Every structure is written in C-alpha cells, then in structure tokens.
C-alpha cells in the first residue's frame, strides 16, 4: 500500500479530519491532502511528525498490516454512465476486482439495458430494488420484478433490459468479479 493511503486510513481510524491532523503535525491541510492523494511525499522528519500525531512511529507504520476497510460510503462508489444503453453502473466496493465477489448497483432507464456479458466462470446474483427488468440468459428471457432476485452460473451470454416506462435499480453481485 502507498504511504498516503495508509496515512489516510490511520487518520480516519483516529476520527481526525485533514485539518485536525495538520494542526497536530504543524502542517497545512493542503499538504496533508496532497500526501494522502500521493501528489507529494513527506520528508522523513515530516513523516515522523505525522505519524506521532496519529499515535504511531516509523517502525510500527511500516511493520503494520493495513487494516481491512469494511464500511464503504457514497464517496467510495465509482460510477460509469452509458447514455447509449441508458444505464448507470456504480461499483460499491473500490478495487473489488481483487476480491472474491464484486457488488454493483445498476440503474437502467426505460428502454435501456446493461452491456452484454459473455459467458465466464463464476456465478451472478441480483436483487431488483426498484422497477422491473428482464434477465436475458442465453436464449431465455426472464422477468424479474421489484423484491425478486436472480441467481445463475454465468455459462451463457447474459444482460438485463428494462422495457417498461419506469427506471429500474438492481443490486448485482458477480463472483468472481467480472464487471
């Protein structure tokens, strides 16, 4: 893990804002922000000051395993819109490609669809949060309404479509990640 990412995680674990950390380390909020975003690197002396303000030291900082992030917020979601297919996909867990499963939130506008997904290893699960969609699984077309779910092995080409006049939202999980 990068130094800036690790400092940010420690700062958040200590429930400190960038400004509070900057005040404790006698630095500027802008500098802390740049360090956390890997836009600049602190000198060893400055890193020592930052780490002391976070209740740790160089030895422990570089020896520690990075704590696993468990809770993700709206700010963590990466969103991709496809105006042509009339959909929006939100990746709910950053870097989920390295995990065993990948949850996404899919919004499909009326007459829209998700991209065609070719057959692959693994399984797919979805839960329709709002509206109604059709699950296209190979030659089959299955209607899935709000409050209903789907689950299948991804051995056939698959995608979702919305042929209604109302938007639809689906929580979709792929294991292993394929989105």
Q: Are 166 and 111 in contact (CB under 8 A)?
A: no
Question: CA-to-CA distance for 43 and 7, rounded, in angstroms?
Answer: 14
Alpha helices in 28-109 (DSSP H): 29-36, 44-53, 58-63
Provide the pLDDT for residue 87.
97
The pTM for the full model equals: 0.63
Provide the pLDDT for residue 67.
66
Residue labelled with tokens 């030291």: 57
Which among 130, 123, 114 is positioned nearest to 173, based on CA atoms?
A: 123
CATH class of this structure's domain 74-175: mainly beta
Provide the pLDDT for residue 94.
79
| Phi and psi torsions of 43, nearest 5° | -70, 165
Provide the pLDDT for residue 96.
67
Q: Are 32 and 18 in contact (CB under 8 A)?
A: yes
3-63 carries CATH number 1.10.3720.10: no
Give residue limits of the domains in the chain. Answer: 3-63, 74-175
Question: pLDDT tens, position by position, for the chain (179 residues)?
Answer: 689 989 998 998 889 999 999 999 999 999 999 999 999 999 999 999 999 999 999 988 888 666 678 888 898 888 999 999 999 999 998 776 677 899 999 999 999 999 999 999 999 999 999 999 999 999 999 999 999 999 999 999 999 999 999 999 999 999 988 76
Residues 6 or more apart whose Cβ sits within 8 Å of residue 36? 4, 5, 7, 8, 11, 18
């Amino acid at each position: 893990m990068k130094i800036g990412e690790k400092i940010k995680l420690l700062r958040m674990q200590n429930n400190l804002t960038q400004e509070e950390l900057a005040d404790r380390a006698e630095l500027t909020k802008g500098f802390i922000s740049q360090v956390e975003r890997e836009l600049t690197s602190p000198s060893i002396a400055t890193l020592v000051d930052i780490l002391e303000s976070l209740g740790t030291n160089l030895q422990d900082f570089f020896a520690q395993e990075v704590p696993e992030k468990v809770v993700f917020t709206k700010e963590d979601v990466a969103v991709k819109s496809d105006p042509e297919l009339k959909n929006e996909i939100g990746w709910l867990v950053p870097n989920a490609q390295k995990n065993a499963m990948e949850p996404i939130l899919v919004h499909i506008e009326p007459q829209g669809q998700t991209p065609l997904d070719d057959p692959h290893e693994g399984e797919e699960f979805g839960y329709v949060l709002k509206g109604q969609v059709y699950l296209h699984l190979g030659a089959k077309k299955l209607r899935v309404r709000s409050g209903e779910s789907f689950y299948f092995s991804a051995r056939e080409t698959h995608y979702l479509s919305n042929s209604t006049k109302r938007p639809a939202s689906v929580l979709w999980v792929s294991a292993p990640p394929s989105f």
